[in-house]
Amino acid sequence: MKRHPIVLFVHIPKAAGTGAAVLFYEQYKEKLGVIDMNVWDRWQERMRDAPYRFDCLFGHFSYGIHEDIARAAEYTSVMRNPIDAILSYHSFIVSKPDHPFHQFMGNGSLDQFLKLPPELLFVFRNYQTTMLTGKLNATASEAIELIGRKYPILGTVERLPETIYFWQKRYGWGEVVMRMEEGKNASEAPRKLSLAEIRGIEELVRVDLDVYAFVRSRLAQMIIALSSGEKAAIRELKETGRLSPFLH
């Protein structure tokens, strides 16, 4: 029996990962492995002993773990507008006193966040591209080339319903139920930023912005190529939160 490559979902923080995790669990159930990279060595052993135990691995890992898996694999993920992602990260840290970076946040302002010590701010510099490529300081051209080869479906938060449709179609999912709050999160308007704040964030995620522009464009082209019936199915998903199984 022909098996589909194992699906490796790179869960980028602050990019719809929680909602996506629910969707993937509902489709894969016991065939979904949620990875904790702190114990990746144990997962390596499990995958060596039973390479077909899981059909999907999901977690905060970066590109490259397929090298430790003895079967064909393909990657997928969801990107978020890099400026919105940084704003979300900032708000998250400010609201979590137990976050290791909270103690450095001073008055909690965005300006304070952007003035974190370089060794801390480095964690957020083009972090989406770093996870998608598994490479620190990857260029936009390097990331785009890799995405073209290794990520058949790379969605965006703003186009989450369309992304879900492509997952269902490619992976042969059954009926999908999307919690309506997932769709709302995609359309939340960012707060008004000062020019200095915008420039500060842009400097931090310049490569992410270029990669995100490519991903948006590629996804838009995929959507344009859909049939009228497929586009109608996506509209229904947006309106009702339900997507019937894709009929080949």
pTM recorded for the entire structure? 0.92
Neighbours of 171 (CB within 10 A): 19
Residue 199 in domain? yes
Residue 157 in domain? yes
- Helix (H) or strand (E) segment spanning residue 154: strand 153-156
Residue 209 in domain? yes
Chain-centroid distance, C-alpha 142: 18
Residue pair 85/19 in contact (Cβ under 8 Å)? The answer is no
CATH number of the structural domain spanning residue 186: 3.40.50.300
Residue 248 in domain? no
Q: What is the domain count for the chain?
A: 1
Question: β-strands 242-243, 153-156: how paired?
Answer: unpaired
Residue 13 in domain? yes
Measured on CA atoms in the order 231, 15, 131, 171, is the torsion positive or negative?
negative
- Tens of pLDDT, residue by residue over 194-226, are 999 999 999 999 999 999 999 999 999 999 999
Neighbours of 113 (CB within 10 A): 26
Residue 17 in domain? yes
Q: What separation in angstroms does the CA of 152 have from each of 76, 108, 159, 202, 222? A: 7, 39, 16, 27, 11
User: Is pLDDT at 130 greater than 50 in this prediction?
Assistant: yes
Beta-bridged to residue 32, according to DSSP, are: 56
Residue pair 130/111 in contact (Cβ under 8 Å)? The answer is no
Pick the residue with more confidence: 81 or 50? 81
Tell me which residue range forms the domain holding 153. 6-243
Residue 214 in domain? yes
Residue 82 in domain? yes
Indicate the pLDDT class of residue 60, thresholds 50, 70 and 90. Answer: very high
